Chains A and B, each alone.
Chain A
């Protein structure tokens, strides 16, 4: 049997995926990434899952990619590497994806946190892209996603020096949305995911797609897409239910229709 590098746990509509390579500081080897993507795709097609939380260990969220794998790749092998496809599949996950980060999120680990929709971290968290110190550069969205969330100067500084930033700095820069006491990071993230997972599934999906457009198109096109999503939801039962429940002062009962 394949070694499980990802532990899966489900509470109500929230699935928690825990990176579990304690001997390798949770380095995201290709096998590990494959299993993560597999789990995400399972969760994506499972109607009982509303949101997914990705987390690591107390001292390491994920400390990068597997350097031994990289060491063995020449240009041809790097060109043929299917890791980029795995990252693409991860980015296609259509449900809310949250990261709960304690300790180091470096290199690929930082890129994974950046690829999630919402990232919370503990006070011990450190985010960094140290690829430059190894003579390479981030290869899974690091240079693109980071600059979009923390802005130009800090992104350049992080990518060009390879130096990590701490939790407080990550919060100021907008890389994370909350800093928690370490012992509560996962719990708080799961709470948030739990809350999100109670919302109408189709509305969540539409909201996520609309938010993603903001990174990929210009404003006017984005607004158009948003309007389109907005109109599409008008045809759903959940929308009627949501508004009705509001007026009747009760909790809505969403069906995903």
Chain B
């Protein structure tokens, strides 16, 4: 497609989604949101997709909202940014966390504003050693959105979250790693290969079970220990009924590699 703002292709069970506005550091405009939403629908509906990989084209990962799209002149009424959050960013983050399949994020460069939140909303985040994370909202009088204010304190802790959100300083990939915000840092030249093979490996795993794990992890944020114990019981009950559980146990005893279908039963 001529002006695809989102590139996507499926290979070996992995749906790779590339944010593709490299000249604008892959910042979001409405059209890019629409295209990303369509790609996500594929991830949700296509059973052959067992892992998703998100990355950016060019030197940046995602610079958040494209400010060129936000015409704020003094003689106009103030814009309703809540509307774009409600229409685009919130559904995106909700769908990522609800997707019952693992999502790997390859942060290839700067991840700013909602772009940083997008990365944090993925399940496993791998950053290039020259990537960086910026909570740029504070410099514009805005608030970390797209789950930023939810993820930051949970991942990095209150003190670091406050520092990042109020100062808006650039955080290096290494710093993000040390603070527990991301899973791994790899050399920039190796990022694509490394994350592709990680995603392909994940796509051979018990997808249904991985989906249950995601559910358990995300639910823990709002559950009490007691509620979480009940949820673990229920999810384990479901996992135990899957074919992949049987396959995993049989393969273990037969000392052979398992062959998982990824399906519910």
Contacts and interface: CB of A to CB of B under 8 A. Distances in A.
Interface string A165-190: 00000000000000011011000000
B234 interface: yes
Interface residues of A, number: 4
B109 to A, nearest CB: 37
A184 B238 CA distance: 8
A69 B167 CA distance: 61
B106 to A, nearest CB: 31
A190 B215 CA distance: 24
A181 B234 CA distance: 7
A200 to B, nearest CB: 29
Contacts of B237: 184
Nearest to B227: A179
Interface string B159-196: 00000000000000000000000000000000000000
A75 B235 CA distance: 51
A115 to B, nearest CB: 27
Interface in A138-191: 180-181, 183-184
Interface in B196-242: 215, 231, 234-235, 237-238
Nearest to A181: B234
Contacts of A181: 215, 231, 234-235, 238
Residue among A180, A181, A184 having the largest count of chain B Cβ atoms under 10 Å: A181
A180 B234 CA distance: 8
A181 B238 CA distance: 10
Interface of A: 180-181, 183-184
Interface of B: 215, 231, 234-235, 237-238
Given A181-B231, A184-B238, 8 more contacts: A180-B234, A181-B215, A181-B234, A181-B235, A181-B238, A183-B238, A184-B234, A184-B237
10 contacts: A180-B234, A181-B215, A181-B231, A181-B234, A181-B235, A181-B238, A183-B238, A184-B234, A184-B237, A184-B238
